[in-house]
Structure 1
């Protein structure tokens, strides 16, 4: 039995699509089961509710061998570390009491950074809490998501511009969520592994924002430019969407990224499949061209 949390989210949905036809029994925990595609809903056992609810996870984890664990983002939350830990504690109790064998968690590169990194630090604390249960655990560790480009989809469509609080010549390691999903699905279907370890998921190319603009220009066949925004401007934009505590944690993450939080881990990774150019051609270009 495999349990998928966040089955309608960006990563969880792709994981579910990869395992639903595997022949394995699959359960999902969903706040709104109606958001599941009908094809999937007919093939899985659905537990309605939130996976920070002890009653929900206790029922869903009963008899489960493997769990995909992902804490959903919540811009209205308070302190990110408290949010991550409070969300994860019920699951850890259920993992121990119900004998779950394996957990695959979605985390981040940079655990050895040694300084506060906001939301990333919260993810590292989540890893430590799950590891403390003794369950066999694989922490999937990623850098900057290519899908973040969708935040500027309308600006790229209208003005040919995307924005980051990052210097144009700063190299950014990247990853595509489809590679995260593929890695997670393979681990969930594999019953042979045990122990605790991390699994980096990193694109074969690390690019500067200026280089990303060049690739986008070639793929979209129109000029695309990158424009750096200041930390203050970026913070002001975020403040329109989230709580003060969340904005602070998000900005601490951005500062840590600018200071190279991912650098040490990048020395020991095996590249995943999807390059930024391939992602742009197969995922982003169709979105740009869509009405």
Structure 2
């Protein structure tokens, strides 16, 4: 099968490309970075160098493809983050329609069932809707939980304050996900028998409270008393701005954090349980966190 993968050699797209090539598929990887071409070809995949903002390039990259793994890369320069998602989704739809791609697996997000107050995830929800309206295709929307690597953002807080601080925490539950577990599910879905109607698949590697996350990370970094303290929305926004995150971008995690604390973020996921968990557990990630923490990352 001929499969086009977006996301260059990112945390999900690289292991996904490796899996698909190992399974005998002809894989084209879209990347906006020319220097990635050799690395892509080293994986025995074809490199399509260009940007998703170029409609002609995207159409050419999908030419003769049987299936597409689609994701929307973040744009920290777009004034309106949600519009960026919508525009990218519409370009995807036009290219899919023009080239006759029949199978699409889209990287959405947990929380996309909400229609307000969920930050940039509203953009993912919009793209789900755009893809659902494309006639003649089979689409699966992947809705992963909270990425483990988002926890790296608390390293400076741990160093400066001696604890984790955010507007969710303590006994709040987090549905954690590792990119490798997403890649495994994406590969499985790309090979699956096409469904007649749009499908949603939730992906979670582990489920823990914030206190349990703090305990695991604390043990790994040699701070067994590490705590996760919940603070105000205003403090979380101030912490984001202090890191140099533009305010129009910083409001997104603040909104998402509020939904994690309320439980709304994972409410639809809970309705679909039981769902098998992925292979990479919190304690596995804690060791990676500790290695990065020791090296001052």
Give the TM-score normalised by the residue count of structure 1.
0.88
Range that drifts further, 11-20 or 118-127: 11-20
Alignment map for 1:183-198 (pairs within 5 Å) = 183-188=185-190, 190-195=191-196, 196-198=198-200
Counterpart contact for 2:217–2:289, Cα < 8 Å: no
Give the TM-score normalised by the residue count of structure 2.
0.87
Counterpart contact for 1:28–1:47, Cα < 8 Å: yes
Distance of aligned partners of 1:17 and 1:163 in 2 relative to their CA distance in 1, 3 Å threshold: farther
CA RMSD in angstroms comes to: 2.4
State the distance in 1 between where 2:18 and 2:155 align. 25
Counterpart contact for 1:20–1:40, Cα < 8 Å: no
Alignment map for 1:119-158 (pairs within 5 Å) = 119-134=120-135, 135-156=137-158
State the distance in 2 between where 1:169 and 1:79 align. 33
Structure 1 residue 237 displacement after superposition = 3.1
State the distance in 1 between where 2:218 and 2:33 align. 39
Give the match's secondary structure for 1:113.
coil
Structure 1 residue 212 displacement after superposition = 0.9
Report the counterpart of residue 284 of structure 2 in structure 1. Answer: 278
Report 1 or 2 for greater relative contact order, CA contacts < 8 Å, sequence distance ≥ 6: 1
Report the counterpart of residue 288 of structure 1 in structure 2. Answer: 293
Alignment map for 1:159-198 (pairs within 5 Å) = 161-188=163-190, 190-195=191-196, 196-198=198-200
State the distance in 1 between where 2:252 and 2:40 align. 38
Counterpart contact for 1:77–1:245, Cα < 8 Å: no
State the distance in 2 between where 1:45 and 1:123 align. 27
Counterpart contact for 1:79–1:249, Cα < 8 Å: no
Report the counterpart of residue 209 of structure 2 in structure 1. Answer: 208
Structure 1 residue 159 displacement after superposition = 6.5
Distance of aligned partners of 1:41 and 1:58 in 2 relative to their CA distance in 1, 3 Å threshold: farther
Correspondent of 1:263 among 257, 262, 267: 267
Counterpart contact for 2:8–2:32, Cα < 8 Å: no
Give the match's secondary structure for 2:228.
strand
Structure 1 residue 39 displacement after superposition = 6.4
State the distance in 2 between where 1:27 and 1:113 align. 33
Range that drifts further, 58-67 or 116-125: 116-125
Structure 1 residue 221 displacement after superposition = 4.0
Gapped runs of 5+ residues in structure 2? none
State the distance in 1 between where 2:178 and 2:228 align. 20
Structure 1 residue 118 displacement after superposition = 1.6
**Are residue 112 (structure 1) and residue 117 (structure 2) matched?**
no
Q: Deviations for 1:10-64, whole angstroms, at most 9, x for unmatched residues?
A: 2222322322333211111111131366364462221111123201111100000
Structure 1 residue 82 displacement after superposition = 0.8
Report the counterpart of residue 236 of structure 2 in structure 1. Answer: 234
Q: Deviations for 1:130-149, whole angstroms, at most 9, x for unmatched residues?
A: 11113211101122111111
Structure 1 residue 236 displacement after superposition = 2.3
Query: How many corresponding residue pairs?
Result: 288
Give the match's secondary structure for 2:22.
coil
Distance of aligned partners of 1:231 and 1:116 in 2 relative to their CA distance in 1, 3 Å threshold: closer
Structure 1 residue 258 displacement after superposition = 2.4
Range that drifts further, 113-122 or 77-86: 113-122
**Are residue 253 (structure 1) and residue 217 (structure 2) matched?**
no
Structure 1 residue 180 displacement after superposition = 0.9
Give the match's secondary structure for 1:173.
strand
